[in-house]
């Protein structure tokens, strides 16, 4: 084959890229192509911060490609029409792309394959969703059996990862559009985009002597600590592959020096498997993107009070941990996972707001917003999905804050109105005597809102609502 296209979607990397490797193997010349798909770029559930991260990442990829004698080609338009036009104009023999599993991606790829020769190579996860299924061909809908079956297929080592190509031969004379200007400079972003940064983060996480993967089991839920890998935005856009993450986790497990280290590394590996599980659920049950997985939960009578929702999304509920999480999300496009569970539980089970409204809001904000993981997390919290938390599990935002942010460090960082509040009141500032409120300059109802609902009362109402189903 003389010429092929490497169609870049969610694999913005050169290392361990199966689609790119196969394109180079089969074709003398390879065109790295990214299509600005209006259906995705202009989606109402898109995030400016996520798009900015994507555009910066594409610029980083272009710079890396140029070091290999290639360059990034950018086109805008309907993918099927764009690829058909390019294939005819430049005599393309084959198009190679990494498989994607969202309902839209699968429909898009079916339309493309009807017009041009498309070969899907590799996967967003380590395994294709059709790989880990029951003996009768049914999909797993409970995580633990899925995880056991998933692990039976083995986990790759670093030696199995594909290297960066030495050179990519890309023909001259192919027009490329300019990428849209990202929002803000990359140096101002919490997550520096690009494959290089993704690899640095992974190496720091797995090689750290303190914290990192061997401290993950103890620190991952602490909102006041940097105890997670911070790799979710990079996995979202494939700036690092799932295989690279699993290989690093597997190596760390082999190097564990004791049961605590081993348990901690296993915990992180299992979190990666959760990502695979949610990809599988969305693949086998695409309807979860629009409705509760559990039929009996589809007729819940949500209150959906717009004032309550506005207070939640702006971080003005009067519950410090909830407000800190939402303000972190709004400011950075990211939220600690424990805070995600607390804020989601509060919206659904304290404010009685439909989980789909929260899911959509998160997608409009998150840098790492992923259709499978975001949906899976929200349905788990709401008790409406596969392997969901039981509906009667309702997070107490006060107790959660006291346990996972005991000194209020996370709260004070994101809710400056509470910076001077003493530790004993930081999770319930409304309990401060008026004289103390005046002394520390935090007047409840004026400087900072009082609780918009009573948690105990709302818990009772939530149990009644769910119990009717």
Judge whether 150 counts as a catalytic residue: no
pTM for the model stands at 0.95
On whether both 305 and 411 belong to a single domain, the answer is: yes
Q: What is the pLDDT of residue 45?
A: 87
Beta bridge partners of 123: 99
Judge whether 221 counts as a catalytic residue: no
Q: Rounded to an integer, what distance in angstroms lies between the CA atom of residue 315 and that of residue 148?
A: 39
Judge whether 46 counts as a catalytic residue: no
Q: What is the pLDDT of residue 469?
A: 53
Kindly state whether residue 261 falls inside one of the protein's structural domains: yes
Q: Who's near 353: CB < 8 A, 6+ residues apart?
A: 302, 303, 304, 305, 308, 309, 312, 347
Judge whether 355 counts as a catalytic residue: yes
Question: Tens digit of pLDDT for each residue in 59-100?
Answer: 999 999 999 999 999 999 999 999 999 999 999 999 999 999
On whether both 58 and 139 belong to a single domain, the answer is: no
Judge whether 7 counts as a catalytic residue: no
pLDDT beneath 70: ranges in the chain? 184-188, 209, 389, 469
CA distances for 23 relative to 13, 65, 87, 199, 344, angstroms:
14, 15, 15, 23, 42
**What DSSP letter does each residue of 155-198 carry, written as one string?**
---GGGSPPPPS-----S----PPPPPPSS-GGGSSS--SHHHH
Kindly state whether residue 188 falls inside one of the protein's structural domains: no
Are 329 and 311 a contacting pair, CB within 8 Å? no
CA distances for 92 relative to 80, 95, 118, 127, angstroms:
14, 8, 11, 29
Q: What is the pLDDT of residue 187?
A: 59
Query: Which of 119, 270, 302, 430 is labelled catalytic?
Result: 302
Query: Which of 274, 305, 330, 430 is labelled catalytic?
Result: 274
CA torsion sign, 245 to 372 to 13 to 18? positive
Q: What is the pLDDT of residue 136?
A: 96
Q: What is the pLDDT of residue 87?
A: 96
Length of the chain counted residue by residue: 469
- Token pair for 380: 């788990």
Kindly state whether residue 172 falls inside one of the protein's structural domains: no
Judge whether 302 counts as a catalytic residue: yes
Kindly state whether residue 184 falls inside one of the protein's structural domains: no
Query: Which of 7, 150, 334, 378 is labelled catalytic?
Result: 378
On whether both 277 and 133 belong to a single domain, the answer is: yes
Are 368 and 47 a contacting pair, CB within 8 Å? no
On whether both 202 and 301 belong to a single domain, the answer is: no
Q: Rounded to an integer, what distance in angstroms lies between the CA atom of residue 357 and that of residue 286?
A: 18
On whether both 67 and 34 belong to a single domain, the answer is: yes
């Amino acid at each position: 084959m003389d010429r092929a296209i490497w169609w870049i979607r969610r694999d913005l990397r050169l290392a361990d890229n199966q689609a790119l490797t196969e394109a180079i193997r089969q074709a003398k010349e390879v065109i790295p192509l990214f299509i600005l798909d209006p259906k995705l770029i202009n989606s109402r559930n898109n995030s400016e911060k996520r798009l900015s991260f994507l555009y910066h990442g594409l610029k980083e990829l272009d710079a890396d490609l140029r070091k290999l004698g290639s360059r990034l080609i950018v086109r805008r338009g309907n993918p099927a029409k764009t690829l058909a036009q390019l294939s005819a104009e430049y005599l393309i023999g084959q198009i190679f792309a990494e498989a994607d599993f969202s309902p839209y991606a699968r429909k898009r790829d079916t339309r493309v394959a009807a017009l041009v020769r498309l070969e899907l190579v590799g996967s967003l996860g380590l395994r294709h969703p059709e790989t880990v299924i029951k003996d009768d061909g049914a999909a797993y809908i409970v995580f633990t059996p899925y995880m056991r079956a998933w692990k039976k297929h083995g986990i790759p080592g670093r030696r199995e990862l594909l290297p960066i190509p030495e050179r990519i031969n890309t023909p001259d004379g192919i027009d490329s559009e300019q990428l849209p200007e990202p929002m803000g400079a990359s140096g101002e972003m919490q997550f520096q985009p690009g494959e290089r940064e993704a690899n640095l983060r992974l190496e720091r996480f797995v090689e750290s002597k303190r914290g990192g993967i061997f401290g993950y089991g103890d620190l991952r839920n602490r909102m006041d600590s940097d105890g997670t890998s911070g790799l979710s935005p990079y996995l979202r856009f494939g700036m690092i592959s799932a295989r690279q993450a699993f290989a690093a986790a597997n190596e760390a497990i082999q190097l564990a020096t004791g049961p605590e280290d081993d348990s901690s590394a296993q915990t992180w590996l299992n979190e990666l498997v959760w990502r695979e599980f949610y990809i599988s659920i969305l693949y086998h049950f695409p309807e979860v993107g629009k409705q509760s997985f559990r039929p009996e939960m589809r007729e819940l009578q949500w209150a959906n009070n717009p004032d309550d929702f506005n207070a939640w999304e702006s971080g003005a509920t009067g519950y410090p941990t909830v407000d800190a999480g939402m303000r972190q999300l709004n400011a950075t496009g990211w939220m600690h996972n424990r805070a995600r569970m607390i804020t989601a539980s509060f919206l659904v089970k304290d404010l009685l707001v439909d989980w789909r409204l929260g899911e959509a809001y998160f997608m409009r904000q998150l840098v790492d917003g992923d259709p499978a993981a975001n949906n899976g997390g929200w349905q788990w919290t709401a008790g409406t999905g596969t392997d969901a938390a039981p509906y009667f599990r309702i997070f107490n935002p006060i107790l959660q804050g006291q346990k996972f942010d005991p000194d209020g460090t996370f709260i004070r960082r994101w809710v400056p109105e509470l910076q001077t509040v003493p530790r004993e009141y930081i999770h319930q500032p409304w309990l401060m005597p008026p004289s103390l409120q005046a002394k520390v300059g935090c007047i409840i109802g004026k400087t900072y809102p009082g609780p918009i609902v009573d948690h105990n009362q709302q818990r009772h109402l939530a149990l009644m609502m769910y119990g009717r189903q």
